[in-house]
Structure 1
Amino acid sequence: MSRKTFQHHMIREIHEQPKAIEATLAEERQQVVKVAEEIYNEKYEMVYITGSGTSYHAGLAGTFSLSLLTKLICSSIPASEFGVWLPSTIPRKALLIAISQSGESTDVLEAAKSALKRNMKIVAITNTPQSSLTKVADYTLLTHAGEELAVTATKTYTTQLTLLFMLTLELASLQRQGSEKIEELKKALTEAPRLVNKTLTSNENLMREFAYNFKHVNCFFLLGSGPNYATALEGALKLKEACNVFAEGFASREFLHGPIQLIDGQTPIIFILTKDEIEHFKGLIKTVVNFGAPLIPISEEKQAFSDFSVKAVEIPEGFPKIFSPILYIVPLQLFAYYSSIARNLNPDKPEKLRKVVK
């Protein structure tokens, strides 16, 4: 589609995600293999992942995949806190994966400097070749998203996720030579562009409808578990940035430990549920519905919510849960965009935000 088709950069960039992911999968594969081999051969014991805002959320999802599929011990720390939280004693072989779409974020660069002082090697994940971050890094992985003009990041997020999942699979493949499971997951990840496109086309009208239905609502809670805890945080961030509303993401059952006190009939709950989680969280779903909160489920199993008389957002079936943040964030990006339009705001340039935080 041409740029003239779209009213704002944000919605254009949301629609560019299938091609951006496809380009990242194709054009960065050899470099990912090279970096994975270096990490494997150096026998790193610990991996820290850092970033700010959207990049930190990508890092959380990456921490989940690396912890689940590889033998590496992984930890995510927000970039602004990295120097404070980094233990005084770290393993001799420790690696930092530093994520920044611009490669110029002050907090991420400071985190990288803290890592260098500890003799840690650095992998940069960025959308900007020759940025400051790439110059301090030992290895660089590039998201092939193209220029992102909206302050509200979308396509750089899903391509960051793509790179982290690619790196996870290559490391897992080296550690488990000949594993059929890893080969199947590699094949499944190549389906991401098609499935993101399907998620876009099947949900755009519904997310526009939700946006206008809730245009007078100024508080949202988003719940997600496993890798989609990161999705809940990122979805809440998009609503804050684009719509100027209070939105908070929680690990699903953590919502019961205090925040549930705040819900009422005017407080929508956006519940992110992969297929295998629905039965486990049915009690929590019933609880929020009984308190009168409007429920927006996002799941592969649309029919599972028919008892609650709500419209569910349907995600295409068959994509592995470990990669699911790539798909589950898409309806939330659309919801944030159309909520901004419904409120007569400019989603490309929130007045208090800048694309690069220095």
Structure 2
Amino acid sequence: MNEPGAFTHNEIISQPSVWAQALQTYHAQAKGLTQFWQSQPVDQMVFTGCGSTYYLSLTAAALFQTLTGIPSVARPASELALFPDLVYPPDQRLMLSVISRSGETTETIEAVSVFRERTGGRVLAITCDSQSTLAKAADIVLAADFAQEQSFAQTRSFSSMLILAQALAGHLAGQDVKMLLSSLPEICDRLLSEYHDLSRQRGEAEKIDRFFFLGAGYQYGLACEAMLKMKEMSLSYSEAFHPLEFRHGPMSMVNENTLVVGLISDEAHRQEVVVLNHMRRLGGDILAIADFAGNEINALGEVIRLQSDLPPWARSALYLPNLQLMAYYRAIARGQNPDRPNNLAAVIKIDTFR
């Protein structure tokens, strides 16, 4: 029998090689995706998923709108299935991008059915199972079967599907995706090695009893995913907020037993540093993740430096691996098995949805 967490640990550290496969997969399908995209005009993109993949959708929608100029929104699949009138504007040519590791989640499949009934629009699936119900229901599929996991918590599946979404948005916007994203596996490998001990120390810190993950723009969905990893793997109190929103009430929870993790953006780093400095003065420990750290970021305390030299949209996946490791080590230190988080299953199904 495997040690508790063995699958999760292996899946986290396998990400460099799995990311390389994700990029190869995208490049092999790039021509077909271009033809699919150009075959019909699109007025709005709607991204959806459940749990982790809903958070992935938040980042994917932000990437897509910024790069392509096409208005893009993200909603939980259950909202699309149960409250479609709140999401689908009339007389708009819509495309639904559905993100799901298994391709079998009940709300996800229902969201596709309702979308077809309401709009007749096209469906793009991003999944880790090319033979799933979702894949068969979609018009076109980006599949990362090689990223599938034995653990319940998503790690490499999330980041691999994110890379596929990054590549899609960049490619359709005319970016040189092959050149820009090719360095991601190597950078990921360096980050996992260089900051392994820091990730472990932060995860095993006994004095910390609450975690807050702050991110804006592309990073908000990633902050939410980091929050979920910490919560589901280790059963720790963990929340995610936009940095400036954190000051409107939630910062009342900050004390000397708090770790505040800032996913620093290029665009708003000055404001984000102000917030993190404020939390430090309130007694919180600070961990910042930034591409390059100037004096004002270095002064915050511990910093994970991505040093990617990539544009913001191209580096999104790099924020995650060390935070996944931190959650893993937190779980092990607390006697939890991150392979099988409490009360969870790999695929969530509902017997009577409609």
Q: Same fold (TM over 0.5)?
A: yes
Equivalent pair of 2:4/2:339 in contact (CA under 8 Å) = no
In structure 1, how many angstroms separate the alpha carbons of the residues matched to 2:29 and 2:73? 23
- The residue type paired with residue 335 of structure 2 is N
| Residue of structure 2 equivalent to 1:220 | 211
Aligned twin of 2:158: 157
Unaligned 5+ segments in structure 1 are 174-181
Q: What residue number does 1:356 align with?
A: 347
TM-aligned CA deviation for residue 7 of structure 1: 5.9
Task: State the distance in 1 between where 2:275 and 2:74 align.
Answer: 27
2:196 maps to which residue? 204
CA contact (8 A) 1:208 1:335 kept: yes
Per-residue CA deviation, residues 62-92 of structure 1 (Å, 9 max, x unaligned), is 1111111103111100111113154464344
- Take 2:69 and 2:35, find their aligned partners in 1: how far apart are those partners? 14
Deviation at 1:302?
4.5
Please state whether the residue corresponding to 1:354 is helix, strand or coil.
coil
Rounded to whole Å, the distance in 2 between the matches of 1:56 and 1:294 is: 29
Does the 8 Å contact 1:21/1:159 carry over to 2?
yes
Matched, 1:191 2:180: no
CA distances 1:199-236 after superposition (whole Å, capped 9, x unpaired): 111111111111122x3533211101111111110000
Number of corresponding residues:
345
Aligned-pair CA distance for 1:261: 1.7
Please state whether the residue corresponding to 1:333 is helix, strand or coil. Answer: helix
Task: Give, in angstroms, the shift of residue 52 of structure 1.
Answer: 0.7
Q: Which residue of 1 aligns with 2:319?
A: 328
Q: Which residue of 1 aligns with 2:141?
A: 140
Q: Which residue of 1 aligns with 2:66?
A: 68
What is the distance in 2 between the residues matched to 1:89 and 1:68? 21
Partners of 2:158 and 2:266 in 1: how far apart? 23
Asked if 2 retains the 8 angstrom alpha-carbon contact of 1:199 and 1:316, the reply is: no
Q: C-alpha displacement at 1:165, in angstroms?
A: 1.1
CA drift at 1:307: 3.1
Whole-Å separation in 2 of the counterparts to 1:334 and 1:283: 27
Distance 2:65 2:91 in 1: 17
Instruction: State how 1:17-32 maps to structure 2 within 5 Å.
Output: 17-32=15-30
The 5-angstrom pairing of residues 329-344 of structure 1 reads 329-344=320-335
In structure 2, relative to structure 1, the CA distance for the partners of 1:89 and 1:212 (3 Å cut) is closer
Give how far 1:35 is off: 2.2
Give me the whole-angstrom Cα distance separating, in 2, the residues matched to 1:288 and 1:342. Answer: 26
Over aligned residue pairs, what C-alpha RMSD do you find? 2.1
Q: Distance in 2 between matches of 1:345 and 1:328?
A: 24
Partner Cα separation in structure 2 for residue 34 and residue 250 of structure 1? 38
Query: Quick check: 1:21–1:144 contact (8 Å CA) kept in 2?
Result: no
Equivalent residue number for residue 352 of structure 2: none
Q: Does structure 2 conserve the Cα–Cα contact (< 8 Å) formed by 1:45 and 1:91?
A: no
**Percent identity of equivalent pairs:** 27
Q: Which residue of 1 aligns with 2:167?
A: 166
User: Do the aligned partners of residues 39 and 306 (structure 1) sit closer, same or farther apart at CA in structure 2, a change above 3 Å counting?
Assistant: closer
Deviation at 1:276, TM superposition (A): 5.1
CA spacing shift, 1:163–1:263, aligned 2, 3 Å = same
Which one-letter code corresponds to 1:25 in the other structure? L
SS of residue in 2 equivalent to 1:42 = coil
Task: Name the CA shift for 1:145/1:320 in 2 (closer, same or farther; >3 Å).
Answer: farther
Secondary structure in structure 2 of the residue aligned to 1:345: coil
Report the more deviating stretch, 100-109 or 23-32: 23-32
Give the counterpart letter for 2:194 in structure 1: S
Hey, what's the Cα distance between the residues in 2 that align with 1:314 and 1:5?
31
Number of the residue aligned with 1:253:
244
Letter in 1 for 2:244: R
Distance 1:126 1:156 in 2: 9
* Inter-CA distance 230–189: structure 2 relative to 1 (3 Å threshold): same
Separation in 1, partners of 2:302, 2:47: 36
CA contact (8 A) 1:37 1:171 kept: no
CA contact 2:212–2:259 (8 Å) conserved in 1: yes
Please give the per-residue CA displacement for 1:241-276, whole angstroms capped at 9, x wherever unaligned: 100012111111111122112211212111111355
How far off is 1:14 after superposition?
A: 0.6
Q: For 1:79, which of 66, 77, 80 is the aligned residue?
A: 77
CA distance in 2: counterparts of 1:91 and 1:260, whole angstroms: 43
CA distance, structure 2, for counterparts of residue 286 and residue 7 of structure 1: 34
Using the size of structure 1 for normalisation, the TM-score is 0.91
Contact 2:4 2:337 (8 Å CA) reproduced: no
Any conservation in 2 of the 1:220–1:270 contact (CA below 8 Å)? yes
Q: Which moved more, 1:234-243 or 1:129-138?
A: 129-138
